[in-house]
Amino acid sequence: MTTAEAWAAWAQAPYPIVAGEEPGVKPMPPMLRRRAGFLGKMALEVAYACLDGRSDIPTVFCSRHGDVARAVELLTDLANGEPLSPTAFGMAVHNAIPGLFTIARGDRANHIALASGAATIEHAVIEACGLLADGAPAVLLVACDCPLPELFEAFQECEEQPYAWAWLMTAADADAVALNWSACEDAPAGGMPGGLQVAAFQQGGARSMERCDGRLRWHWSRDA
């Protein structure tokens, strides 16, 4: 899905997403672009499209797992006594993708990378709202993830899928989306990962949505 229309159609009847071709990320210089893997290129593609040339906008990058496939490759090499690639290591850390984005654009705006388990997307929104409350006129939120490597498939709590999307968040207006929470001891229901559940809510037009991460129940709603 590469257009708003495709995302909107998916939101009406969500289906499992499978990986397609790597995004081109044409605005990024080739020397930097080739450092990013599939996850990174998805995130960079939507980040460039969302900002559309704007600068000096802080970024909140969120991914529950990050580029875990690259990390597994490095750990496997380490276990086998093979030398590690400094470039691969540098791109395996969680803030590598937003770092690459700011370097390519020469942008000195603040960027934050976070992972918060099943509630990663909600905590990213809270972080972005904190930046808005501190005076930022807008905040770029980028959410992305990929399926876990085969080594970790037995531990996944939901149907992991490849995706990336971005929001350019501003202070609330008449069409605001609201997020609240309360205690919840129910186990997560599985199904789509949280980032895709929120994408379906945002694109699908529902007035409200609830989801539980095993500790908190998150209440999403919209004014209109």
- The domain that contains 23 carries what CATH number? 3.40.47.10
3-class secondary-structure state, position 142: strand
Identify whether 204 is part of a domain.
no
Residue predicted with more confidence, 223 or 44? 44
Residue 85, token pair as written in the block: 């690639």
Q: Is 26 among the domain residues?
A: yes
* % of the chain at pLDDT higher than 90: 75
Whether 211 is in a domain gets the answer no
Neighbours of 170 (CB within 10 A): 12
Does any domain span residue 197? no
- Position 224 scores a pLDDT of 60
Question: For the chain, what is the largest distance between any 2 Cα atoms, rounded to a whole number of angstroms?
Answer: 58
Looking at the domain assignment, is residue 49 inside a domain?
Answer: yes
Report whether pLDDT(174) > 70: no
pLDDT of residue 204: 84
Mean pLDDT over the full length of the chain: 92
Q: How far is CA 14 from the centre of its chain?
A: 18
| Total of domains in the chain | 1
| Three-class secondary structure of residue 183 per DSSP | strand
Mean pLDDT for 141-162 is: 92
Which among 50, 25, 19, 60 has a CA at the least distance from the CA of 40?
25
Taking CA 4 as the corner, what is the angle to CA 167 and CA 44, rounded to the nearest 5 degrees? Answer: 50
User: What are the helix (H) ranges across the chain?
Assistant: 4-12, 30-33, 38-51, 68-79, 86-92, 96-105, 120-133, 194-204
- Structural domain that includes position 121: 4-172
Within-domain flag for 198: no
In a domain, 199, yes or no: no
| Distance from C-alpha of 154 to C-alpha of 213, rounded to nearest angstrom | 18
- Tell me if 209 is assigned to some domain: no
Asked whether the beta carbons of 93 and 63 are under 8 A apart, the reply is: no
